[in-house]
Structure 1
């Protein structure tokens, strides 16, 4: 794609700020590249009204952090917009660099690592220092040095795409049984999580949306590198849920993913169901209210 078409402009920022403030925006008003990026991050979902589709955010906190880390150099959207709209038009290049990464507002990355969580304590190590991962509800732990982060080999790592599902893991315990599980957030998106998984022997389960895009993410970012050590979570009741799933989102994804090769044969039945019902199911539906 032409890099100029992926510019993070004030116009794009204003629409995102509107959603951050609780609003929705029509699907036609956002560039495809930012829609695709935010959907892959699990930060954006579609709302259907007749033949029209609008977008809303799924996790305002995770969204703010993602935009700050990748587009606004750690600043809030509102502040970033204010700086670029400076009425005196006398911003120096150094100021632009401070607020946008450079004068052309390129993406940049300000920290590395990933969030982890669990509902039962898990022993871990950073280098040779042992500690216990045991956050209370509402708290997660950010691993800043994944290259020296170690967990017991019998712990199953579950990668979670969506922010709401990650923040409410205790409401989804019914999906994972009695296994020792360390939940990891796919946000902020980077290769850090995958590189860590490639260095450890643990099994990996991908918990994402039950749609073609979610399967693509799993196959291209995890199964391709981890092989049979990776698997895609397929709940026992997914057939019933797909029957009443989201048909608009299926239609939106179909053209892009209709010829996707299914490398992991364990996904064949799930893909068949998705195409049979012509519907998909978003993982937030598995969050059980307390």
Structure 2
């Protein structure tokens, strides 16, 4: 039996968690097989670029189970990341859905436009904007920031990278931008322990709203809100993607929200039959 490589497993885990990857992240043969089996959907962007999204959770689960005997993809990835672990032990770990592991790396990425003071283990640190780099908070249980700082979660890595191009979208004042990479619950766990307001900046589509509702709002309550720009109706009408809406419709067509703002956004998406990915907010004509 062949083992699934760590590199491929990590990519599939990202897709399983609702994220998208560029087509170039996979080799052509590998990607073609996944698409042929209905596991992923490929979206073309421009003439040369493509993006890959999970098309069938059940299909992926069956693929992993039947081909690699993997019942728990996240556990499989975590175990392969332990340097001393053997391939056999990793496989045993993956097939046990109830087994829990300790991770070598935990935490999340932070980014700022202007320096922000914080504390780590009670000692003051300064998080500074440094082009080309991000700060990774590993020991997040001992990470503190002023309660007045607005926390903005960026679901897409490119938006997180180019925060300075999107600053005008958000309220003035101190802002700390976060990315939940790797794809774990560490970010939400930390947010649940602090009083700061949390603003979620995700895709303006049914899947993006579902992620916020189920992974953030349920755990954080009223201090969490979904970022909706004033001109969202115009943006969706002019720049929205109908293919994106169609691919998500079967899974999310019954999505409802008790938040009137979010329900209005859901209604708007259905009315236009389009979804809008947050990358549309990263400047105009930018070569990404």
In the superposition, the TM-score normalised over structure 1's length comes to 0.72
User: How many residues are treated as equivalent by the alignment?
Assistant: 242
- Secondary structure, in 3 states, of the residue corresponding to 1:102? helix
- Secondary structure, in 3 states, of the residue corresponding to 1:261? coil
Change (3 A) 1:31 1:123: farther
1:266 aligned onto 2:261: yes
Offset at 1:28?
A: 2.8
1:249 aligned onto 2:244: yes
Any idea what the Cα deviations from partners look like across 1:4-48, whole Å, max 9, x if unmatched?
Answer: xxx9846x949989832675945733663xx5xxxxxxxx97227
Contact 1:204–1:229 (Cα < 8 Å) also in 2: yes
1:238 aligned onto 2:232: yes
More displaced stretch, 223-232 vs 114-123: 223-232
RMSD: 3.6
Give the Cα separation in 2 of the matches to 1:18 and 1:281: 19
20, 28, 35: which is aligned to 1:28? 35
Contact 1:219–1:264 (Cα < 8 Å) also in 2: no
Change (3 A) 1:8 1:246: farther
Offset at 1:250?
A: 0.5
Offset at 1:56?
A: 4.2
Change (3 A) 1:120 1:45: farther
Any idea what the Cα deviations from partners look like across 1:203-255, whole Å, max 9, x if unmatched?
Answer: 00001110011101101111112222111011122111211311111011111
Contact 1:73–1:110 (Cα < 8 Å) also in 2: no
Change (3 A) 1:226 1:240: same
Offset at 1:286?
A: 0.5
In the superposition, the TM-score normalised over structure 2's length comes to 0.72
131, 156, 162: which is aligned to 1:137? 131
